[in-house]
Structure 1
Amino acid sequence: MTILVIDGYNAIYAIPEIKEKLNKSLLEARETILEYAQNYVRHNGLIDRAIVVFDGKDEHHSPISKHLGGKIQIFSNTGKGDDKVIETAKILSKHSKIIVASNDNYVRNNSKVYGAGIMDVRDLVKINPNKKTKKSKK
């Protein structure tokens, strides 16, 4: 089994179309990254499951994990998000192949210690059918 572990807020801030949603709602930005994660799994063909790790607690009690089926998000203690991504990779690497999506060098380097493959969080957009493409101005 291959599991994709996504550094949630790192992804939100790195992907412009999701970062824009922060102006409207943190919950909407979180739900969008969760949808991108599920779509990535669905269309990639090599990854069986995605888990998105967020720093802090789920004050909004997001319904998206129930809607998409299964536990796909983890909340860390405030200020511990990076360590929670690494800890998740460590625990899951005992029984699964892990890929960590983060642009944070601390997360990337420490996840590699546990055999995790690494990907840029912006790659989640490349395969996403919900992506809205911007028309070029002439």
Structure 2
Amino acid sequence: MDVLLVDGYNIIGAWTELRTLKDNDFSKARELLIEYMAEYQAYTGYRVIVVFDAHLARGVEKKNSLYGVEIIYTRENETADERIEKLARELKDIRTQVHVATSDYTEQWAIFGQGALRKSARELYNEMQRIEKGIEKRVDKVNRENRSSGLFLSEEVSEIFEKWRRGGK
């Protein structure tokens, strides 16, 4: 199994679209990153865990899930880097390859030393662009097949199916 650990705020700060959105609506930027990671997870089959520093929140670690993506907000006085390193150690075994998405150079070397593979924010962005194109091709192919088979799905029904595919309601 492959696991992708994502340094949430590092990626938000590195991707132009998310960084711009963050300036106006921080929570929207987080949610959009999670949506992208849900697409990544659905397309690649990786287990995806996004880790955020406990930004403006005090207390214990908080875990939840959105669109099937695991989300961790670190506990007070714990950085996302520390939590990612801990997760990389816990998850690494003979059957699991851990990948870490961050552009923090020091963090990349720390996780690389633990046997995890690094993925820079730019590499993840480029991979997401390829995934988006792959998803578009698949949707177009399904739509063409549906039209040729006599089964036509309205735009509204197609959107509902897409939300279901992503694990939303």
TM-score by length of 2: 0.64
Taking the aligned partners of 1:31 and 1:124, their CA distance within structure 2 comes to 17
2:81 is matched with 82
Higher relative contact order by CA 8 Å / sep ≥ 6: 1 or 2? 1
* Aligned-partner SS, 2:75: coil
- Residues 100/106 of structure 1: CA separation in 2 closer, same or farther (3 Å cut): same
Taking the aligned partners of 2:49 and 2:37, their CA distance within structure 1 comes to 8
> What are the Cα deviations for residues 59-85 of structure 1, in whole angstroms up to 9, with x where unaligned?
5xxxx834x12x511111345221111
Given that 1:5 and 1:101 are in contact with CA atoms closer than 8 Å, whether structure 2 keeps it comes out as: yes
Taking the aligned partners of 2:35 and 2:117, their CA distance within structure 1 comes to 22
* Aligned-partner SS, 1:90: helix
CA displacement at 1:29 relative to structure 2: 0.8
CA displacement at 1:33 relative to structure 2: 1.1
Matches within 5 A, 1:16-31: 16-31=16-31
> Which deviates more from structure 2 when the two are superposed, residues 49-58 or residues 106-115?
49-58
1:135 is matched with none
2:49 is matched with 51
CA displacement at 1:40 relative to structure 2: 1.8
Taking the aligned partners of 1:101 and 1:50, their CA distance within structure 2 comes to 10
* Aligned-partner SS, 1:9: helix
Taking the aligned partners of 1:11 and 1:78, their CA distance within structure 2 comes to 21
- What is the identity, as a one-letter code, of the residue corresponding to 2:3? I
The runs of 5 or more residues in structure 2 that have no matched partner are 58-63, 134-169
CA displacement at 1:97 relative to structure 2: 0.8
1:99 is matched with 99
- What is the identity, as a one-letter code, of the residue corresponding to 1:34? I
Identity %: 28
2:12 is matched with 12
Count of residues paired in the alignment: 122
How big is the alpha-carbon RMSD for the aligned residues of Structure 1 and Structure 2? 2.3
Given that 1:86 and 1:110 are in contact with CA atoms closer than 8 Å, whether structure 2 keeps it comes out as: yes
Given that 1:36 and 1:125 are in contact with CA atoms closer than 8 Å, whether structure 2 keeps it comes out as: no
